Structure 1
């Protein structure tokens, strides 16, 4: 019997319309233009063209590592590296603010799945719900607030660096139950489904018709269930 359900956030509970990686990165680019405005307003000196080129180079470097190393890198690391390479001296508070501004265009672009509030509301009456996401706590909170679903979750695990198992283990410990009594719902076979299965959780793959990292589409992993619509969860979880 399932006692708790953990959800990935981006591409699972919310999605980007007409998604491509290029369009996603363009949202980040627009956010970075706002970061440069913020730096100018606070009297930082820099070459905007050089800074933007550095951002794209650094971001591409970290993105390539997510493919070869199977772990996620955070905005703080990308911006910190970008600023240091341009000799921009900044405080921890400035870095945090720049990260928030960097995501300011992306956050409202995330759209909720159809009937998501009703689906989660029904599930929360029977199970404890959690978020396990690689997104930052700030981005997670802002997306959940925009969709008005933050109060439906009992536990929040952000900056998770999936597919590492740390936060899957923490979820089990805080739920005080067996792994087989927990389910993970996510769109990414490599970062959501594989670690859940490895640790003994039930795994439900939400298939959108694509993997946002194309090389993940060839991963031979068999989830406990594969769904195309989150509404199917209302019936599937009861079968475990």
Structure 2
């Protein structure tokens, strides 16, 4: 990682990074179970096998079983218990941004969750018309923040969406091993983050 005084901006993913999505996935898998006639436990185990193969488990299970992927119920999203405190402390030192694949209304949802006030910039796929892992969404964030790549850190749970494209641009990267993204198997040097942490609070030990 660069020296602290060289870091100007911290960019965070939202899902499974700032926001705990476990209840949303539980709801989705229960509905896949209802649609397919299998039990929730069977669906969960099936999905986990795909996540361990670096695939999106819930999507793959729905596809394999021939059922429509249930709607994402964002009302079940909750902040991780350390998110607010972490952002509050970091925002005193750095500019804080979001680069995320999200449906319309990301700013409003983060406002409702009580953390919008700590964020200086929100770049979300629905509003920008481009999604991670496309490097363009990272370039948009860097341009709007007037931040050079060497002064930016990307923090996220997904190796494919967060770490790989950010590294390609020259940003420093931190892999937060939360949610299903923590099951990713590193297969190439390009997938290795500069730092791995198990929760957001660990960020405070280094930044």
Give TM-score scaled by structure 2 length. 0.69
Report the equivalent of 1:15. Answer: 20
Indicate yes or no: 2:74 matched with 1:107.
yes
Gaps of 5+ in 1: 29-66, 69-81, 83-101
The equivalent residue for 1:217 is: 185
Q: Is contact 1:6-1:129 (8 Å) kept?
A: yes
Whole-angstrom CA distance in 2 between matches of 1:145 and 1:155: 13
> 1:17: Cα distance to partner?
3.1
Counterpart of 1:135? 102
Tell me by how many angstroms 1:19 deviates: 7.0
2:123 paired residue number: 157
Aligned to 2:161: 191
Quick one: structure 1 residues 25 and 142, their matched pair in 2 at CA, closer, same or farther if it must change by over 3 Å?
farther
Q: How many aligned positions are there?
A: 163
Task: Work out the CA distance in 2 between the residues paired with 1:210 and 1:134.
Answer: 16
CA distance in 2 between counterparts of 1:158 and 1:148 reads 18
Q: Which segments of structure 1 move beyond 6 Å, counting only runs of 4 or more?
A: none
Contact 1:205 1:225 in 2 (8 A): yes
- Between the aligned partners of 1:190 and 1:229, the Cα distance in structure 2 is 19
Cα RMSD after superposing both structures? 2.8
Aligned residue in 2 for 1:34: none
Give the drift of 1:172: 1.5
Q: In the superposition, relative to structure 1, how do residues 222 and 107 fare at CA in structure 2: closer, same or farther (>3 Å)?
A: same
* Contact 1:211–1:217 (8 Å) recurs in 2: no
Q: Which residue of 2 aligns with 1:24?
A: 28
Which structure has the larger Rg?
1
Q: 1:157 to 1:10 in 2, by over 3 A?
A: same
Q: Secondary structure at the match of 2:174?
A: strand
- Whether the 8 Å CA contact 1:119–1:230 is kept in 2: the answer is yes
Which whole-Å deviations, capped at 9, do the CAs of 1:148-173 have from their partners, x for residues lacking one? 11111111111141000112112221
TM-score, length-normalised on structure 1?
Answer: 0.60
Q: What's the counterpart of residue 35 of structure 2? A: none
* Separation of aligned partners in 2, 1:18 and 1:177: 35
